[in-house]
Amino acid sequence: MYTERMHEPFFHLRELPGLHWPRAPSGPVAQSWAAYRELDRLQWLSAGEIAAHQLRQLQALLLHCWRNVPYYQPILKAAGYPDRPLASLDDLRRLPFLTRQLYQTHFAELRARTMPAGIVEVGSTHTSGTNGVPIKVLKTNWDCLWWNAFYLRDLEWSGLDPRGRLAAIRLVAMRPEDEPQALAGLEFPGWSELCYDLLESGPAFAMDIRQAPRRQLGWLRQIAPDYLLSQPSMLEHLAGLILDDGYGLPGLKVIQAIGEPLTDDARARIEAAFHAPVKNLYSTNETGYIASTCPAGHGLHVHAENILAEVLDEHDRPCEPGETGRLVYTALHSFLVPLIRYDVLDDVTLGSGPCPCGRGLPLWSKVDGRRHTLFHLPAGGRKSSMGATLGLRKVGGVHQFQIVQRAIDHIVLRVIPNRDWSEHHAAAMRQVMHRELPVPVRVDIERHETLPKPRSGKLRVVVVEMDQPAPCPS
Ligand SMILES: [Zn+2]
């Protein structure tokens, strides 16, 4: 049921010269605004209505795959396509999973030969590779449109008013030459490109996550943000420093936790130190927005207009409400490189029953995904391992890698070389580690056939052995 809301609109449109009333977006941003407004309406549909729309969108995606995507043609044929088209969302289980390894190996065949009218490729990016298998991601104009629309929905749900001051501590410098500026902190007049053209927006500030946590805190106190965005591991570390100092960030209204799972413990510690609520955003580079905190605080709502989520137990059967399982999703607008039953290597816990907030979107109580470990530095210092992970990924020459910090001055890099591997790659990897760790450090490179995985089956790309519990004295 669609409930008309009577409150003031959350966003304030930027004023255009000569156009005071009624104000309406024009030009390219008008489409993003219209898409956001449509999402605003769809969230109030019932769960059944949402599932029916998902099925129709899924049928369109599969028909496209059948006609245009070489990788999926034999898979769909084996599943009885086109004689037995999908009659329900449960039918999707006839199709196999798409793992990151399959995606990497079959990238050329996964790419659609022809695209539906109006969808065009506009660029490419990479996933961060923090799970050891970085993958290339191609973006279309549709991806950008829906990215913008979900960005606006997430801001509204999280209560992040773009007229305020936003501080982000995240990976900012993608190239070594940009690091000095990114470590010092950057200032921008607006929150995003979309805000520049569409919304009234306050300033945004960004600092690279590899800066020393104490320096990060000093910078935050100087800029006095209304909103803070970072990864839970970093926020938890900053929370510890604030509790030590006895004073925090007065005026902070909301914290947004991104890029890593947020445990209940971490949320409690962060909220106690900062005196601000923590909102969780779960997104991936492959697909964009997946789930965001329910505005009424009942867990996370899946952005079901973007993805069809399946949460499966160890026998690949759907989990019951309240159970934790492995997330496998289908990206409903992924027409260029379709992601069908994509195994993202994260676990989620299903919520119970319909959400009291009235939204029909699926409800999760939490996401248990990956965490970016902090390296130990001398004198008790810590540093995010994210830069090292990304740096090694750029070097290439390997199928997978794992960073093990044995001691403050000793790193072991375990690699599964690919056919391009050479001593040049080994030297470049050592260089990355020497750059990322500001102390003389011994870097050993070990070549492996496979890498050890814990029982969860998820490879931990960064292992800090100094964090492991000491063996019991015998
Ligand atoms: Zn809700």
- Per residue in 208-243, pLDDT tens? 988 988 999 999 999 999 999 998 888 988 998 898
| Overall average pLDDT of the 192-214 stretch | 92
35 backbone dihedrals φ, ψ, rounded to 5°: -65, -40
Torsion, Cα 102 104 109 114, to 10 degrees, reads: 120
DSSP bridge partners of 384: 374
Q: How far is the CA of 400 from the centre of ligand 1 (A)?
A: 39
Of 170-184, 271-285, 358-372, the poorest mean pLDDT is in 358-372
Statement: residue 108 has pLDDT above 50: yes
Q: How far is the CA of 44 from the centre of ligand 1 (A)?
A: 10
Q: How far is the CA of 42 from the centre of ligand 1 (A)?
A: 13
Mind listing the pLDDT tens digit for each residue in 169-178? Answer: 998 988 889 9
Q: How far is the CA of 358 from the centre of ligand 1 (A)?
A: 6
Q: How far is the CA of 362 from the centre of ligand 1 (A)?
A: 9
Identify the residue with better confidence: 251 or 391: 251
Q: Return the number of other C-beta atoms located less than 10 Å from residue 454's C-beta.
A: 9
Residue 468's pLDDT is what?
Answer: 57
**Which helix or strand (DSSP H or E) is residue 416 part of?**
strand 410-417
Residue 474's pLDDT is what?
Answer: 34
| Overall average pLDDT of the 77-87 stretch | 90
Residue 216's pLDDT is what?
Answer: 95
Statement: residue 439 has pLDDT above 80: yes
Q: How far is the CA of 351 from the centre of ligand 1 (A)?
A: 10
| Overall average pLDDT of the 307-317 stretch | 90
In the sheet with 398-407, reading across from the earlier edge strand, the strands are 442-447, 410-417, 398-407, 462-464
**How far is the CA of 135 from the CAs of 259, 265, 279, 448, 457, in angstroms?**
16, 32, 28, 21, 19
Identify the residue with better confidence: 53 or 6: 53
Q: How far is the CA of 153 from the centre of ligand 1 (A)?
A: 13
Q: How far is the CA of 294 from the centre of ligand 1 (A)?
A: 4
Nearest Cα to 231, choosing from 381, 306, 362, 130?
A: 130
Residue 247's pLDDT is what?
Answer: 87
Statement: residue 472 has pLDDT above 60: no
Q: How far is the CA of 413 from the centre of ligand 1 (A)?
A: 43
Of 9-18, 61-70, 409-418, the poorest mean pLDDT is in 9-18
Statement: residue 2 has pLDDT above 50: no
Residue 196's pLDDT is what?
Answer: 87
Statement: residue 183 has pLDDT above 60: yes
Mind listing the pLDDT tens digit for each residue in 362-394? Answer: 999 988 765 567 888 887 778 888 788 878 888
Mind listing the pLDDT tens digit for each residue in 115-169? Answer: 999 999 998 887 655 555 567 889 999 999 999 999 999 999 999 999 999 999 9
Q: How far is the CA of 323 from the centre of ligand 1 (A)?
A: 18
| Overall average pLDDT of the 200-207 stretch | 96
Say if strands 300-302 and 363-368 run parallel, antiparallel, or are unpaired. antiparallel
Q: How far is the CA of 356 from the centre of ligand 1 (A)?
A: 6
Q: How far is the CA of 2 from the centre of ligand 1 (A)?
A: 14
Statement: residue 457 has pLDDT above 90: no
Q: How confident is the model at residue 345 (pLDDT cuts 50, 70, 90)?
A: confident
Beta strands in 157-232 (DSSP E): 166-170, 186-188, 204-208, 227-230
**Which pair of tokens denotes residue 371?**
């965490």
| Overall average pLDDT of the 52-72 stretch | 97
Statement: residue 352 has pLDDT above 60: yes
Q: How far is the CA of 142 from the centre of ligand 1 (A)?
A: 27
Find the helix packing angle between 232-245 and 264-274, rounded to 10°: 40
Q: How far is the CA of 191 from the centre of ligand 1 (A)?
A: 26
Q: How far is the CA of 241 from the centre of ligand 1 (A)?
A: 33
Q: How far is the CA of 201 from the centre of ligand 1 (A)?
A: 27
Q: How far is the CA of 357 from the centre of ligand 1 (A)?
A: 4
Give percent helix, percent strand, percent coil of the chain, each to the nearest 5. Answer: 35, 25, 40
- Is 111:337 a contact under the CB 8 Å cutoff? yes
Q: How far is the CA of 467 from the centre of ligand 1 (A)?
A: 37
Whole-model pTM above 0.85?
no
3-state secondary structure of 98: strand
Q: How confident is the model at residue 68 (pLDDT cuts 50, 70, 90)?
A: very high
3-state secondary structure of 442: strand
Q: How far is the CA of 46 from the centre of ligand 1 (A)?
A: 12
- The Cα–Cα gap between 234 and 246 comes to 18
| Overall average pLDDT of the 351-365 stretch | 94
Q: How far is the CA of 366 from the centre of ligand 1 (A)?
A: 13
Q: How far is the CA of 140 from the centre of ligand 1 (A)?
A: 30
Q: In sequence order, what DSSP letters do the residues of 333-399 get, joined into one string? A: T--SS--SSEEEEEEEEE--SS-TT---S-EEEEEE----PEEE-GGG-EEESHHHHHHHHHH--EE
- The Cα–Cα gap between 271 and 454 comes to 31
Q: How far is the CA of 297 from the centre of ligand 1 (A)?
A: 7
